[in-house]
Amino acid sequence: MFSVHKIRSIAGCSGEALWVVCISFFTFLAAGYSAAQSSDPCHSKETFVKADALIKAKSYTAARSVLNQLRACPTLSPSSLFATGWLYGRTHDFATALKVFNSLPLSIPSEPTHRYAIALAEFELGNFAKSAEAIQPMQGRQELDSKSANLLGVSYSKLGKYDDAYKVLTENIARHSSDLFSYLNLITLLSDTGHFSEAAKVADRAVTAFPANSDVLVVRGATYTLTGDLGKAHNDFVAAVQLSPQDANKRFLLALCEYRQGEYDKASSGLKKAIQSGIVDSDLHYLLAECLLKLDSKRQVKVIDELNRAIELNPKAVAARTLRGKLLLESGRPQAAMADLVLAHRIDPTSRSATYNLARAELKLGRSRQAKALFEELQTQHGDSLSELSEQKLHKALSPDQSQ
């Protein structure tokens, strides 16, 4: 079934959030305390609280130091040692976490939890085959919970086993119809393999299951955008903005949809209202500049003002720098354009638009050798900044970072 594209990422299956949300480590602590004697010679309770506080403060080195001392305690209970491994994972020391998990019997604290912990650590280390191997024995068993099935499906996709991933994720939705990650992972799998119509169908089911979730509406809107159904996409983006009016990305996607429908004035108006409401976002100013160009290409002062603001908010905004450089170049200022275009190309060498316009500037300045080298970098016909940023935004919508 799947053969079109390589999977790039799957929602909800990596990042610190899984070490915090998917399994509460306090569950492990409770297990450890119940198994331990009433006395606590290792002072594990205090140490866990201290380590947790350091991790929340992102003081990972200090947290590891505290955990190293606890791990060295000879009377530390097996359950507490497992909890220590989990906390190592939260400090991003996945190798040590894996060593801890592998040093304990699978029954600590339970086989499903233990296998998931090993699989997650292996996944974080990029060992996708070992991640899948850790969970595979649970397939077909009642103990295979949703988070483990999701991780197994993602591991399969990373290995290019798309049919296996599809099977695991669809079966997981059938068993756990109220699990949001299951839908998001399957939608991302289908989208990244080019099956946009199927992704839209799954997204429709997700909206039915989670009608008040603005992120799900955005996901369906993104799938509709990819299938060319901009009318339905617009409806979803409008609904998502109504639910989350201060979300900059949702505002951007709504305006982008209106831009693609040729409703530049409507898109411009919506972007201005979003900015006036207090949303501070570089990309909104950039898209507003694109809209103003469409409405009146001679209003370059206002366009440049919006691009200046976009770059002020995000000096690494490739799209904004590329467009500003292009406009400076077209106004007869190639030397001024070079500053933006060189930096844009340096930040994102894969940007066809930045590369193309930098080559044009080099050519305008009489540097034919440098221009030729840049033109040769272009593997396909030159793109445009908005198309490139739009692709990034849609991909982000379809592969949301659940750690946010």
Which segments in the chain show pLDDT lower than 70? Answer: 1-39, 379-383, 400-404
Longest dimension (CA), the chain: 81
Rounded CA-CA distance 329/311 in Å is: 17
pLDDT value for 158: 92
Rounded CA-CA distance 283/262 in Å is: 19
pLDDT value for 280: 97
Contact 88, 51 (CB under 8 A): no
> For the chain, how many residues are written?
404
* Burial (CB count <10 Å: 0-12, 13-18, 19+), residue 140: exposed
Contact 70, 86 (CB under 8 A): no
Cβ count within 10 A of residue 204: 14
Give the residue ranges of DSSP H helices in 91-213: 94-102, 111-124, 128-135, 146-158, 162-175, 180-192, 196-209
Q: ∠ CA 155-157-158 to the nearest 5 degrees?
A: 65
pLDDT value for 389: 83
Which residues have a Cβ under 8 Å from the Cβ of 35 and sit 6 or more positions away? 77, 78, 79, 80
Residue holding tokens 């976002």? Answer: 281
Which two tokens mark 72?
A: 């060295």
Q: Which domains does the chain have, with CATH numbers?
A: 1-163 (1.25.40.10), 315-386 (1.25.40)
Rounded CA-CA distance 238/234 in Å is: 6
Which two tokens mark 168?
A: 């695991």
pLDDT value for 15: 52
**What confidence tens digit (pLDDT) does each residue in 267-309 have?**
999 999 999 999 999 999 999 999 999 999 888 899 999 999 9
Residue type, 101: F
- Percentage of the chain lying above the pLDDT 70 cut: 88
Residue holding tokens 């109220």? Answer: 178
pLDDT value for 17: 53
